[in-house]
Amino acid sequence: MKLRKTVLALLILGICLVSMLNLASALTISSVNTNPEVIAPGESSLIKIGVENEGNDDVEDVSVSLNLKDVPFAPYSSSSEISFDEIRDGRLEYAEFEIIALSDAKSGIYKIPLEVSYRISGETQTRTKSSLIGISVNSKPIIDLGIETGLILRGQENQVSLRITNKGFSDVKFLEIELVNGAYYNVLSQKNVYIGDISSDDFDTAEFKIFFKDNSPSTVNFPITVRYKDNLNNKYEENLNLQITTYTGKQATDLGLIQQSNTTTYIGIVITIIITYIFYRQIRKRRKMKKAENSA
């Protein structure tokens, strides 16, 4: 009975020792560095992966590979797999990959699958380790402003429509526009307008009621402040300027931008006809009366 217990204990101890030796022989991913840490679409990044043999045995046929199948990246100046014939015990090797973000890559954080396969010296079994590498793609949104209103007149209220276009690769979130009164105009409507999100290569509009003073020059500098965030929640604030052309009513009419109303002319003609008709009736009546007196 005691012999059986002793044999069982030795067997368990042997299994534990073998397991410990196997674990000690395993490769570990000791470090992952990317330079730069954040890349823009169309740019490249160098990924340096440290692979360390912390065991007591050498390892052979080591392969370190990146799976770029489902992420918007491609190998740049290297392949997606790097091999080492051998990594001796206690040694550290580095696998370097250079990848490029595709030109249509959306901003965000992507997880790239990483796999390390190897074989312990003297064994035939291939072992694998899997992990994930996080790569950030981002670029500053490019905000473009324009005026959609065709005609702006001095001395009166104008409905001014601003067109906000996102020309960058990164989406815009929580965008708001702020106007302030200027020397030649007053903002009659709300000065802050919240737009919200604008996707890449998309646009939105904002409406303002603005009174341009009579002394406004033909070209008015129109400062606008825009605030927003990108997909990684980075905050931006930009002070942009538009050049707005203003006209007097006469200038707009002379240039054919607005048609002159003929209502006043028509009214004058009608009044002239009525007065002429009344005057003609009175003269005719007097003639009849005078003729009747002469006949008597």
pLDDT in tens, 75-109: 998 789 999 999 998 899 999 999 999 988 888 89
What is the structure's pLDDT at 151?
A: 86
pLDDT in tens, 106-155: 888 999 999 999 999 888 899 999 999 999 999 888 999 998 877 889 99
For range 217-242, the mean pLDDT:
92
- With a cut of 60, say whether residue 229 has pLDDT above it: yes
pLDDT in tens, 4-24: 444 344 444 443 433 444 444
Residue 57's Cβ-side half-sphere holds a number of Cα atoms within 13 Å equal to: 16
**Confidence at 2, pLDDT banded by 50, 70, 90:** very low
d(Cα 88, Cα 240) in Å, to the nearest integer? Answer: 60
CB distance 246 to 154 below 8 Å: yes
CB distance 196 to 146 below 8 Å: no
DSSP per residue, 11-66: HHHHHHHHHHHHHHT-EEEEEEEEESSEE-TT-EEEEEEEEEE-SSS-EEEEEEEE
DSSP per residue, 148-182: -----BTTEEEEEEEEEEE-SSS-EEEEEEE----
Report which of residues 53 and 283 the model is more confident about.
Answer: 53
Average pLDDT, the chain: 83
Query: What domains are defined for the chain?
Result: 25-137 (2.60.40.10), 143-254 (2.60.40.10)
d(Cα 168, Cα 143) in Å, to the nearest integer? Answer: 7
This prediction has a pTM of 0.64
For range 20-29, the mean pLDDT:
59
What is the structure's pLDDT at 207?
A: 92
What is the structure's pLDDT at 19?
A: 40
**Confidence at 3, pLDDT banded by 50, 70, 90:** very low
Positive or negative CA dihedral for 191, 194, 200, 203? negative
Smallest CA-to-CA distance from 183 within 223, 148, 146 is with 223
What is the structure's pLDDT at 271?
A: 79
What is the structure's pLDDT at 186?
A: 93
For range 58-86, the mean pLDDT:
92
For range 171-200, the mean pLDDT:
93
- With a cut of 60, say whether residue 259 has pLDDT above it: no
